[in-house]
């Protein structure tokens, strides 16, 4: 399987002509009776060798973390980060293997974050008590900043699309830690404020994702892949605090709250259709299932409530998937012209 990024690289290298690539995309779109934009293509696995290398890499990294962690937790995490970068030099930069590249990027950024955090916190020897939350939060904030820098250097070297999202996640962690320092750790006891901050972070990440998306409305370059991972990060940051405030998380969901969850999900579906990204819908599925389960429970369908909720949501999503392009057209066409020109194209003929 070849992604749009591979086709773009082939055109740049002169292996393919740009006109041939456009004809190929049009042919695939017509044969699948859909717009290629709507398919949200990105390369994950090109063959079983991707899975083979990914499994071997995970085994190696777990062993390094284990052996190094027996000496010091920060040392194990540092070993994971260093090994991840070294493996990426071959499997990402030379072999261009997508799935191993994603795993190695996550292990590098995560390993770097944990190395700094464990190195500063020293959980093996330190004895923290009440009142030390501010100090620990500061250490986490520093680890987040270092992870952001590591993600930036990794992006400059390897250009793995998920790198930007990983850096954004580290930045959010650094931001939360920094605000916790300023509030002396009280923010973790102020759930409403914490949820508001996470929501604001999610909206900011969403706006950042849209900036990448709007720069490639036809989704023919690596920028669309970067936007995909950013949307995947933004969705839970937006959805979780909203539904937590409604009462979904702590089980205090009322009938009115359940109806509000479903209404919000429909609104998110409209946004997902407009921007042609399914991440918002997928990330909030569990909350909608929980809300429907609560509604059926209130009306007496105790033994079958989960099955009924799954039946309704599953059927609706399959129907939407089958008519995604048509549904997008209904949502996008009434929008102002200035907005439509910045969204992914609906009509492939017009693209």
> In tens digits, what is the pLDDT along the chain, a chain of 351 residues?
555 556 666 666 677 766 666 666 566 555 554 555 555 666 677 788 999 999 999 999 999 999 999 999 999 999 999 999 999 999 999 998 999 999 999 999 999 999 999 999 988 777 776 667 788 889 999 999 999 999 999 999 999 999 999 999 999 999 998 988 887 766 666 677 888 899 999 999 999 999 999 888 878 788 989 999 999 999 889 988 888 888 776 666 677 777 888 888 888 889 999 999 887 788 778 777 777 776 666 666 555 667 777 788 888 889 888 888 889 989 998 888 888 888 887 754 444
Cα pseudo-dihedral 255, 261, 264, 265, rounded to 10 = -130
Enter the pTM of the model: 0.84
Q: How far is Cα 264 from Cα 47, in angstroms, rounded to an integer?
A: 39
316-317-320 Cα angle (round to 5): 85
Note the pLDDT of residue 292: 72
Backbone angles phi, psi at 218, to 5 degrees: -85, -10
DSSP 8-state symbol, 344 = P
Q: How far is Cα 23 from Cα 138, in angstroms, rounded to an integer?
A: 54
């Amino acid at each position: 399987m070849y992604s749009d990024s591979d086709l773009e690289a082939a055109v740049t290298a002169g292996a393919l002509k740009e006109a041939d690539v456009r004809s190929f995309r049009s042919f695939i779109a017509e044969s699948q009776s859909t717009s290629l934009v709507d398919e949200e293509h990105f390369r994950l696995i090109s063959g079983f060798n991707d899975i083979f290398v990914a499994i071997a890499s995970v085994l190696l990294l777990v062993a390094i973390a284990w052996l190094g962690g027996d000496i010091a937790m920060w040392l194990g995490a540092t070993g994971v980060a260093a090994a991840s970068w070294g493996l990426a030099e071959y499997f990402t930069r030379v072999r261009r293997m997508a799935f191993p590249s994603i795993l190695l990027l996550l292990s590098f950024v995560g390993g770097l974050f944990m190395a700094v955090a464990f190195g500063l916190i020293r959980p093996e020897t330190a004895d923290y008590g009440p009142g030390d939350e501010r100090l620990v939060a500061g250490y986490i904030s520093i680890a987040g900043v270092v992870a952001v820098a590591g993600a930036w250097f990794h992006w400059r070297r390897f250009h793995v699309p998920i790198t930007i999202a990983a850096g954004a996640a580290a930045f959010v962690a650094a931001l939360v830690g920094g605000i916790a320092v300023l509030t002396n750790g009280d923010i973790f006891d102020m759930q409403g404020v914490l949820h508001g901050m996470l929501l604001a972070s999610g909206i900011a990440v969403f706006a950042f994702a849209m900036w990448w998306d709007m720069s490639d409305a036809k989704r023919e370059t690596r920028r669309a892949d970067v936007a995909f991972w950013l949307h995947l990060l933004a969705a839970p940051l937006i959805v979780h605090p909203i539904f937590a405030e409604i009462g979904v998380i702590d089980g205090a969901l009322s009938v009115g709250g359940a109806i509000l969850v479903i209404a919000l999900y429909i609104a998110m579906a409209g946004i997902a259709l407009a921007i042609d990204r399914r991440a918002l819908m997928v990330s909030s599925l569990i909350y909608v299932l929980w809300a429907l389960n609560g509604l059926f429970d209130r009306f007496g369908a105790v033994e079958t409530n989960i099955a009924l909720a799954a039946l309704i949501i599953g059927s609706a999503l399959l129907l939407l998937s089958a008519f995604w392009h048509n549904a997008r057209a209904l949502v996008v066409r009434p929008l102002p012209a200035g907005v439509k020109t910045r969204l992914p194209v609906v009509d492939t003929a017009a693209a």
